[in-house]
């Protein structure tokens, strides 16, 4: 376990607060790769070695975070699971979220993704932004060579709903619980 503490200059960080109804929800990279890596590691499989690297040596998206300073309204890293971490943004801002399963970038099928979506340890960035920043987000993605995909929207209400391809809410496993 590693814990890092420090200071950040005012205006140089994106916090969990700031998400507003109508903001779009984005995610960098792919979701579920670390879980695939842990599975491959535990099974002693070299077949998924690229995923083992993503689990054992995740890359922090610091460059993306720096570029999002004037774009994102809120942000969180995906450490405990996409839905669980996004719910932290919702709780702080008193809003809800709709996330569309088919829009989540992943290397697995949607049926398997429903089981991996909250596995955690991906260390990608989940953030919210106004739709008017879409061109800026696309430019950041191209400039840094990091996939950034819109996966949903901030709505009135509470909690995060994961929506299937048939537009029905689906249940997902709980993410990592600290206590």
Nearest to 114 by CA among 34, 178, 72, 172: 172
Beta bridge partners of 153: 24, 98
Query: Which residue has better confidence, 45 or 7?
Result: 7
Q: Across the chain, what does the average pLDDT equal?
A: 88
DSSP label at residue 145: T
pLDDT of res. 179: 58
Distance CA 19, CA 26 (A): 12
**In the predicted structure, residue 176 carries a pLDDT above the cut 90:** no
Helix ranges, 78-147 (H) = 82-93, 110-116, 134-144
- Tens digit of pLDDT for each residue in 112-165? 777 788 788 888 999 999 999 999 999 999 999 999 999 999 999 999 999 988
**In the predicted structure, residue 90 carries a pLDDT above the cut 70:** yes
Determine contact, residues 159/90, Cβ cutoff 8 Å. yes
pLDDT of res. 129: 98
């Amino acid at each position: 376990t590693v814990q890092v503490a420090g200071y950040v200059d005012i205006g140089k960080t994106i916090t969990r607060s700031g998400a507003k109804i109508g903001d779009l929800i984005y995610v960098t990279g792919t979701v579920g790769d670390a879980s695939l890596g842990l599975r491959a590691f535990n099974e002693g499989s070299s077949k998924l070695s690229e995923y083992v690297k993503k689990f054992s040596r995740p890359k922090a998206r610091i460059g993306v975070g720096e570029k999002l300073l004037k774009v994102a309204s809120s942000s969180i890293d995906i450490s405990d699971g996409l839905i669980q971490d996004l719910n932290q943004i919702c709780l702080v801002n008193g809003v809800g979220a709709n996330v569309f399963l088919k829009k989540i970038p992943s290397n697995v099928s949607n049926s398997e993704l429903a089981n991996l979506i909250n596995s955690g340890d991906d260390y990608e960035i989940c953030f919210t932004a106004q739709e008017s920043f879409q061109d800026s987000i696309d430019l950041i993605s191209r400039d840094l060579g990091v996939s950034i995909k819109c996966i949903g929207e901030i709505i009135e209400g509470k909690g995060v709903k994961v929506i299937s391809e048939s537009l029905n809410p689906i249940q997902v496993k709980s993410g990592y619980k600290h206590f």
